[in-house]
Chains A and B, each alone.
Chain A
Amino acid sequence: MIRTDSPTAPAKPVEHLEAVTIRFCGDSGDGMQLAGTQFTNTSALFGNDVSTLPDFPAEIRAPAGTLPGVSGFQIRFSSSPIHTPGDKLDALVAMNPAGLKTNIMDLKAGGLLIVNEDEFNPTNLKKANYANNPLDDGSLKSFQLHKIKISTLNKEALADTGLNAKAVDRCKNFFALGLVYWLYGRPVEATLRWIEDKFSKTPDVAQANAKTLRMGYYYGETTESFVVQYVVPTAKIEPGTYRRITGNEATALGFVTAARLANKELFLGSYPITPASTILEELNRFKHYGVKTFQAEDEIAAVTSSIGAAYVGALSITTTSGPGVALKGEGMGLAVMMELPLIIVDVQRGGPSTGLPTKTEQADLLMALFGRHGESPMPVIAARSPSDCYYAAIEASRIAVKYMTPVMLLTDGYLANGSEPWRVPHYADLPGIEIQHPLEKNSVDGYMPYKRDKNLSRPWALPGTPGLEHRVGGLEKADVHGNVSYDPDNHQHMINTRAQKVANVAQDIPPTEILGDAEGDLLIIGWGGTYGSITTAVEQCRSKGFKVSAVHLRYLNPLPPDLGEILRRFDRVLVPELNRGQLRLLLRAMYLVDAEGLNKVKGKPFLVSEIVEKIESMVRQEVSV
């Protein structure tokens, strides 16, 4: 039996903190993602606002102890609402020298550094390219260094469990987690419950993990190494029922919800690709909701099977990352031509080519907008936070079926794997998605598959409906009756019509929300996953008196109808992006605005401080001129 009561309260002095950013790092076999996830869940249950940033290598198991094999998980937990996983670390847990080497530069001066001293042996130091042991050479003197023999302590704690040495060693992440739980005054119950559930088939492993978790906690309580315990009080959060959710989980749930709102079956055609695969995995868990998942033989089959499913009436999606979008290009053109609803999800990663597959980037925007042959406009929308992926997926679905068009939904690796607490909606409160499939001929001359409604959308007659037999295809077709047409004027007309139809989506875009004043010195415009960093930066600058406002775009095509007017109300415009200036290029072209860029392409999200510094430099420049 696992005891579920909390260890006794500590007798050490307590220091209150507003927020803490901590990172667990170690070898990819050290269970750092697991420790980080458990810490996040516990902190969220405790009542903090949380935001996470997992960082794992592209290799599944790089050679143990090497620099490429380092896996990390960063969490910021706070007593006030937060939008990012934090810039600099308040605390770093390094399970081996390689982890220390690749992460120490992010730790604040004076920050808390916990290392697993056992792993700092000559072999591991060499693998991490350390000439001297950093624990002894004074190079870490600006940090609060805690050298703890985690492996040894874990081994001693589990000496009588009967598990073999390898199995025992595998438990050491829970010792470290227990120690950190004590350090920040977190209860251990939630993790104990999780262990019991997760290892229900191997009770000896469950008991070992539970035991070492407690031993880690007790170690913190009793060792003289730690003289204070830190407390981050609960945050004032909007009342409601919450869960923790990653972007890919939210994307998957959003589409299941959209299908139900539209009274449709969901069809997903997909080919595994990092960092999108977990959407395919998630949706496979929802077969009892009528979700049909098809793991295709390649990206092209993924998109084209989705087109087939869309033609016969499913809410149809395909999920991928940049290289997959490139392969799907011709298929997307077909969906544009046939005017079928389809959602293509691009979970952007570092490119080009295989690039940085596990890292984040925003460099697919122009491909999403223009990366197809011919004139093939497509609505493009972007999610801005992990939980926002849920609503973005529903919105993409609604646009697709209302306007009978493929829609691109952009998320990114940062959103996909990052997580945050999410106040869950009640399904009954979500607006329905209305779809009407014709059952009767829409003309005296028969069924006209390209006879349009006021939005310019064509009707969606489903195979199986008697009397509405019709053919669609990739060749240009005459408007209304849909027969193949090579007529020059018809082609011009159809090109214009398809473009206008996509432009009509603008009528559904709500007024753009502006963070801060509606006019001023500087407007920051962002899109997608940079929302958290930009918002935090702008709030910080505004609290210091800088006249800066921000707009974050969900709709990239068409752009919000009020955007041009908003741009004109500001002296300067700054566009921070994790690319070389793709939205900036678009804004300059669309609005003839002299937008400036803040661009970074390192596979990592913006630090808040990077945006703050840029804002302060720009606004100061304004003043000094």
Chain B
Amino acid sequence: MSAPMNLPTLTAKDFASDQEVRWCPGCGDYSILAQVKKILPTLGIPKEKFLFVSGIGCSSRFPYYMNTYGMHSIHGRALAIATGAKVANPDLKVWVVTGDGDGLSIGGNHLLHAIRRNVEMVILLFDNRIYGLTKGQYSPTSVHGQKTKTSPLGVVDYPIHPLSVAIAAEATFVARTVDVDVKHLGEVLSAAARHQGTAFVQIYQNCVIFNDNAFEYASDKSIKSDNIVYLEHGKPLIFGKNSDKGIRMNGTHPEVVQLGNGVDASQLLVHDETLGDSSVAFMLSRMSHPEFPEPMGIFRQVVRPTFEGQMTDQLAKARKIWGEANMDLLIQGTETWTVN
């Protein structure tokens, strides 16, 4: 998409507000903020059309740092607010910034329903597997057994898999990326921004204070290539430092195979993000470290009419079948009588 001729060319700076950014030094949020500011000018959309909505948590400070319209709302409810805003004004480009606590715990219900409705918006789930703003309690994505302030002997909850949840809720765009992998992050955000429907993006985001290195396996350059596999549409799933490993289907299950010795790329699972059936995407969402390399990139990207688009169509249809608005007829209803 190229910018219309009459629009001034915007830069990342244009999207920065005058507010001082107050995340902890080294927080993964900085990188995400930078990438968002970088990709927005590439979309060719005027700045005033963007609306950033957040809930409560470290990530939810995000709207204050964007020089767009924004709302820092209450815990867990950003998606419902965003839905109302998008429905009331479908011209807006709505982004929701949430976290593993905000989006999956207190706001879990709204996540399911926003996604199933396919309201056009980008949902950025900053997943650091911890409650940061409240200083270190475990979250719905904390690892089983993880020791936190509220689980000194280890978490006995089993964690939720955000992408599995999104896919189960019929998400039309599902992706995963990592805060420090800025190039990949930018590409995923860019694709999410262009999706017509709900785009759900899980971002592995490091909390330096309360859960440092939680995603070291997926972000440390020296080891990550053995622990993650990049999803590329139309290409086989190959990973490893020497690109010598792959994912092959064994019946209904994926398995890690070493390339060579009769095993070649033609036997590997080829990624197709456009599959109508979400079963393979769901299977990919179940692949977890250390048993499997964790997939990064776009799991699923399909087209389905949006909620607000269907509503707009219904309003137009209603005018056609029920007639144009006439306030006096409306007030009178179907049966009146006259008193003289």
Contacts and interface: CB of A to CB of B under 8 A. Distances in A.
Interface of A: 41, 44-45, 47, 190, 237-245, 249, 253, 256-257, 260, 265, 267, 269, 286-290, 292, 294, 296-298, 300-301, 304-314, 316, 330-331, 333-334, 338, 423-427, 462-475, 483-484
A288 B19 contact: no
A474 B69 contact: no
A304 B338 contact: no
A391 to B, nearest CB: 12
A286 B340 CA distance: 30
B77 A301 contact: yes
A257 B112 CA distance: 34
Interface stretch (B31-39, B88-96, B181-189, B256-264): B88-96
B328 A426 contact: yes
Nearest to A468: B48
B338 A312 contact: no
Contacts of A316: 84, 88
B77 A44 contact: no
A312 B336 contact: no
Contact of A269 (B46, B73, B84, B315): B84
Contact of B113 (A45, A47, A244, A301): A301
Contact of A471 (B17, B84, B325): B17
A469 B67 contact: yes
13 contacts: A241-B332, A242-B338, A260-B325, A288-B315, A294-B83, A297-B110, A300-B77, A301-B110, A308-B85, A308-B86, A463-B69, A469-B70, A483-B19
Given A240-B339, A288-B325, A305-B87, A463 B51 contact: yes
A312 B67 contact: no
A480 to B, nearest CB: 15
Contact of A469 (B56, B68, B322): B68
The 8 closest A-B pairs by CB, nearest first: A308-B84, A473-B72, A305-B84, A287-B318, A308-B85, A309-B88, A427-B327, A301-B80
A290 B84 contact: no
Contacts, number: 198
Contacts of A424: 328, 331-332, 336
Contacts of B82: 308
Contact of A243 (B63, B70, B81, B336): B336
Contacts of A265: 88
A399 to B, nearest CB: 20
Considering residues B64, B89, B333, which has the most beta carbons from chain A within 10 angstroms of its beta carbon?
Answer: B89
A308 B80 contact: yes
Interface string B237-274: 00000000000000000000000000000000000000
Contacts of B314: 287
Most buried by A among B71, B112, B332, B336: B71
Nearest to B82: A308
A232 B92 CA distance: 60
B144 interface: no
Nearest to B76: A300
A38 B157 CA distance: 58
Contacts of B56: 474
A69 to B, nearest CB: 30
Interface SS of chain A: helix, strand, loop or mixed? mixed
A132 to B, nearest CB: 45
A463 B338 contact: no
B48 A475 contact: no
Q: Which of B48, B56, B319 counts the most A-chain CB atoms under 10 A from its CB?
A: B48
Contacts of A298: 109
Contact of A484 (B64, B70, B110, B330): B64
A338 B69 CA distance: 14
A426 B72 CA distance: 42
Among A256, A312, A474, the one with the most B-chain Cβ atoms within 10 Å of its Cβ is A312
A464 B83 contact: no
A431 to B, nearest CB: 14
B48 A464 contact: yes
B286 interface: no
Given A313-B89, A464-B91, A471-B72, A305 B81 contact: yes
A297 B109 contact: yes
A608 B164 CA distance: 61
Contact of B73 (A238, A288, A297, A334): A334
Given A241-B338, A311-B71, A292 B87 contact: yes
A306 B73 CA distance: 13
A130 B113 CA distance: 50
A469 B336 CA distance: 49
B291 to A, nearest CB: 34
Contact of A287 (B73, B84, B322): B322
A243 B332 contact: yes
B277 interface: no
Interface string B53-81: 10010000001101111111110010011
Contacts of B69: 463-464, 469-471
Given A338-B71, A463-B69, A472-B71, A44 B337 contact: yes
A471 B77 contact: no
Contacts of A239: 338-340
Nearest to A197: B334
Given A241-B337, A269-B84, 19 more contacts: A45-B335, A190-B335, A237-B339, A238-B339, A239-B339, A243-B335, A249-B333, A287-B318, A294-B87, A297-B110, A304-B80, A307-B81, A312-B85, A338-B71, A464-B92, A469-B48, A469-B70, A471-B69, A473-B63
